[in-house]
Amino acid sequence: FRVVVVASRGAAVVMLRATAGMRLLSTQVQKAIYDSLHASVASRPGFRSVSREDFGTLSGEQEGIFGWLAVNYLLCGAGRLELNALGTVGALDLGGGSTQITLAMRHASSRADATQLV
């Protein structure tokens, strides 16, 4: 709560998304954790309406996509790396609960072709 200055809290959107470790827990345990976190954030004065739907667990696919976007934004957008022919870099996230390997594909005729889960 210290990152968002008090004067800007009324405009701040609060979202919380967990990754693989949370996916290991049962749906009931996840719900209890998110309900508690939501209640804690929603009870803080100064924030605009905090939606319970903004607290949840990312799928492995979503986790990989967000990781890939972050890597490409930080490295490619800043001109720190020489890019491949697609103008992006691939990303490997080897975590404690899951692994995502994400990269842009040259030809994908559909979302099913573009998303390959192993």
Across the chain, how many H-helices and E-strands are there? 4, 4
* pLDDT tens, position by position, 63-93: 999 999 998 888 876 666 666 666 788 889 9
85 and 45 housed in the same domain: no
Known catalytic residues? 63
Annotated binding-site ranges for ATP: 96-100
Within a domain: residue 1?
no
pLDDT of residue 87: 76
11 and 28 housed in the same domain: yes
Q: Quote the CA–CA distance of 47 and 35 in Å, as a whole number.
A: 17
68 and 31 housed in the same domain: no
68 and 50 housed in the same domain: no
Q: Say how far residue 108 (Cα) sits from the centre of its chain.
A: 23
Within a domain: residue 18?
yes
74 and 106 housed in the same domain: yes
Counting the structural domains of the chain, the total is 2
76 and 109 housed in the same domain: yes
Within a domain: residue 83?
yes
27 and 71 housed in the same domain: no
Q: Residue 39 belongs to what domain range?
A: 6-57
Annotated binding-site ranges: 96-100
50 and 67 housed in the same domain: no
- pLDDT of residue 108 exceeding 50: yes
Within a domain: residue 23?
yes
CB atoms within 10 A of CB 94: 8
77 and 94 housed in the same domain: yes
Higher pLDDT pick, 49 / 80:
49
